[in-house]
Structure 1
């Protein structure tokens, strides 16, 4: 089987952290016997024709000089479009170049399937190419492409893409519901397929213990961990408030916040106002190769995401799955796609979003639970449903069933 993957972001060179999950997916397809070629926008300094881990890569130019190719990468297209009106001018050129390059690759490489990642623009482009060439099209939805960009015109483009997809994979129940609402006729083509992640690496237990000692003051007993953007929609405010409630109720906890965000200073000020600044450590960004040590060092991972003012919600929440694989208890919120992974009372605990009291009560439940049953159940659930080798196997089965 030959699969042509079309994406707006892909690692530009070995070691690049840009959308590693797309490369992990492509690499696993190769390991399971598929021939894979990736079409992605070019970026200054990247090779036009490349091969990484057995995955062929073809990068198309859409602007000259090459340094002017600023729509994608470095934070993603959505953020880049918001930052600069010049990028909005470049966007139609990028889409046109992507269409013609994908068409040429399809005509000459002759893939069995075209696989678009994100509904717009890739899904729309691939739907057109599929209609012109009669090559089957599978759309992969990652969340933001259906949950954001919700103008009437863009909904029309997304509905067209869904209508002209032989298979549509959605990463959570919330993205599935949105896709069904956009195009009810495609319900039978939808496949729930979470974004796959790599298996947990072998951890050095001495390093884990050293990290725990570094993060957890000797006066404290339990380490709470947050990993993600330090912004309002991630529930950092409620987590700091919940930490205050726990301390006032006699729970010996310390909170470590891993990540960066525009509102970091605001939350540091909140911790000071609540007089818990000594119970909260802002760690900053951590290399992805080290993050599992943080999960393993913590007692509870807390991800209290909520709906943002602009309508954003957590589409999936892979940090919960990573924490489960590392043997860390998890507490989330009943928001977006989080309940798909955090099944209340089975794989973790769920609080109400935007509610510090509910969050503190569920953290208490996790702290007071001495059984390893939930940890073991969560780990097995994460392996079965989220490891990339398992998600890719189900992906290929879905394509073969259609074929």
Structure 2
């Protein structure tokens, strides 16, 4: 799995991102990694435009990254493509998504062609092979510009489940000069769909290590007081969409055993999603009402605040019943950068960031007893929490900064341009 890059200077490029999700405003954490990636490239001197579907809540917030939303359906209430709206719990595509797909693709292509005529992009970068990599591949061939595709999760899952989507992904991979995957699972999934190994690159996401940072004991106490957390309480935090693959039920199932050893445990759950009602039911069933708080959807700055108050961050991700799985959740990198001790499952993507006993604790998925034991160990051992948190912070800075990601991407772009024989 290739991930090496050169540090040689690269001439500024005009890059067009094609995506179906993006933060709707400056405080939105959804698909934040797309914006962070674009911003990191801009900070290195490149120019980045983003073509994305219209969303009523989308604001063109002040930024050096230009956004170009396109309309594909009227009324706007039917615009479900992207922004985590086109699927049921990340397991099945909604029927309306199939109906909207042709019009979505045509408008996306039309927008790309219009923008290229105006700005003459050097390279196209499609995020998620389905649907954006496919339309970007068609445009790439038409305008004779190289294409890079980045895989982020559910695109590979759906492509392996549906014959038509599989053929579409194969078409896109055949056109791509380079393909990046944020986890080994996605890397291997792309190979199974026909991507060429010599064009594949393992490229985990980055993290904003300035926004997510270690705080002083005084700052931590102030944040905990603002959140109504007693100084004696051990805070366990979970942040993510409430869908099956995030494994929230296993955290809740672990809490009765945790509470028997750590009576002052407090579990804070940030996020919304279709699993909310079921998770609330589990809290009631296990008598955990006094030990669990559901915080609802968190803005990006609120995630940073919650991590300042956190003792143990838990990411109990699993393969869901349909086989879908997380790559490397960005919240794990944010918790690492914040110096939190972490308990997570030993999925391939997560294992890229965390080595068990060094940067956190890793346990088998769907094993709530192992999850509980790891939480109890860290709850009892403040010294171990501090050591793991410091190691995690150091690793996040050294290996997962957005500057590192942007440098690698720029190298892939330059290689694709050189291979295409295009001079800038």
How far off is 1:195 after superposition? 2.2
User: Is the contact between residue 86 and residue 93 of structure 2 (CA under 8 Å) also seen in structure 1?
Assistant: no
Compute the RMSD of aligned alpha carbons: 2.8
The residue number in structure 2 matching 1:380 is: 394
User: Is the contact between residue 326 and residue 349 of structure 2 (CA under 8 Å) also seen in structure 1?
Assistant: yes
The residue number in structure 2 matching 1:119 is: 129
- Matched residue SS, 2:99: helix
User: Is the contact between residue 87 and residue 94 of structure 2 (CA under 8 Å) also seen in structure 1?
Assistant: no
Give the Cα–Cα distance (whole angstroms) in 2 for the partners of residues 222 and 69 of structure 1. Answer: 44
The residue number in structure 2 matching 1:31 is: 43
Give the Cα–Cα distance (whole angstroms) in 1 for the partners of residues 305 and 189 of structure 2. Answer: 35
Q: Flag the 1:401–1:86 CA change in 2: closer, same or farther, 3 A.
A: closer
User: Is the contact between residue 208 and residue 334 of structure 2 (CA under 8 Å) also seen in structure 1?
Assistant: no
How far off is 1:205 after superposition? 6.2
Give the Cα–Cα distance (whole angstroms) in 1 for the partners of residues 348 and 363 of structure 2. Answer: 13
The residue number in structure 2 matching 1:97 is: 107
Give the Cα–Cα distance (whole angstroms) in 2 for the partners of residues 80 and 232 of structure 1. Answer: 7
User: Is the contact between residue 21 and residue 84 of structure 2 (CA under 8 Å) also seen in structure 1?
Assistant: no
The residue number in structure 1 matching 2:190 is: 179
Task: Note the 1:76-95 alignment, pairs <5 A.
Answer: 76-78=85-87, 85-95=95-105
Give the Cα–Cα distance (whole angstroms) in 1 for the partners of residues 354 and 80 of structure 2. Answer: 35
The residue number in structure 1 matching 2:173 is: 162
What is the CA deviation profile of residues 141-173 of structure 1, one whole-angstrom value per residue up to 9, with x for unaligned ones? 111111234212211111221121101111112
Task: Note the 1:251-330 alignment, pairs <5 A.
Answer: 252-330=264-342
Give the Cα–Cα distance (whole angstroms) in 1 for the partners of residues 58 and 311 of structure 2. Answer: 41
How far off is 1:350 after superposition? 0.7
Give the Cα–Cα distance (whole angstroms) in 2 for the partners of residues 59 and 268 of structure 1. Answer: 37
How far off is 1:188 after superposition? 1.0
TM-score of the superposed pair, with normalisation by structure 2: 0.84
How far off is 1:134 after superposition? 2.0
What is the CA deviation profile of residues 13-70 of structure 1, one whole-angstrom value per residue up to 9, with x for unaligned ones? 66565533222222221121112222222345868xx7842223333332345x3661
How far off is 1:349 after superposition? 0.7
- 8-17 or 296-305, which moves further after superposition? 8-17
The residue number in structure 1 matching 2:238 is: 226
Give the Cα–Cα distance (whole angstroms) in 1 for the partners of residues 238 and 352 of structure 2. Answer: 19
Give the Cα–Cα distance (whole angstroms) in 1 for the partners of residues 96 and 133 of structure 2. Answer: 24
Give the Cα–Cα distance (whole angstroms) in 2 for the partners of residues 394 and 285 of structure 1. Answer: 32
1:235 matched to 2:244? The reply is: no
1:4 matched to 2:16? The reply is: yes
- Matched residue SS, 1:289: helix
Q: Flag the 1:315–1:84 CA change in 2: closer, same or farther, 3 A.
A: closer
* Higher relative contact order, structure no. (Cα contacts within 8 Å, ≥ 6 residues apart): 2
Gaps of 5+ in 1: none
Gaps of 5+ in 2: 1-12, 419-424
Task: Note the 1:189-208 alignment, pairs <5 A.
Answer: 189-201=199-211, 208=220
Give the Cα–Cα distance (whole angstroms) in 1 for the partners of residues 69 and 265 of structure 2. Answer: 49
Give the Cα–Cα distance (whole angstroms) in 1 for the partners of residues 239 and 25 of structure 2. Answer: 26
Task: Note the 1:349-360 alignment, pairs <5 A.
Answer: 349-360=361-372
Q: Flag the 1:208–1:232 CA change in 2: closer, same or farther, 3 A.
A: same
User: Is the contact between residue 385 and residue 391 of structure 1 (CA under 8 Å) also seen in structure 2?
Assistant: no
Q: Flag the 1:153–1:373 CA change in 2: closer, same or farther, 3 A.
A: same
The residue number in structure 2 matching 1:399 is: 413
User: Is the contact between residue 208 and residue 293 of structure 1 (CA under 8 Å) also seen in structure 2?
Assistant: no
- 29-38 or 67-76, which moves further after superposition? 67-76
The residue number in structure 1 matching 2:158 is: 148
Q: Flag the 1:144–1:215 CA change in 2: closer, same or farther, 3 A.
A: farther
The residue number in structure 2 matching 1:70 is: 79
User: Is the contact between residue 262 and residue 376 of structure 2 (CA under 8 Å) also seen in structure 1?
Assistant: no
Give the Cα–Cα distance (whole angstroms) in 2 for the partners of residues 98 and 328 of structure 1. Answer: 41
* Paired residue total: 398
- Matched residue SS, 1:114: strand
Q: Flag the 1:43–1:350 CA change in 2: closer, same or farther, 3 A.
A: closer
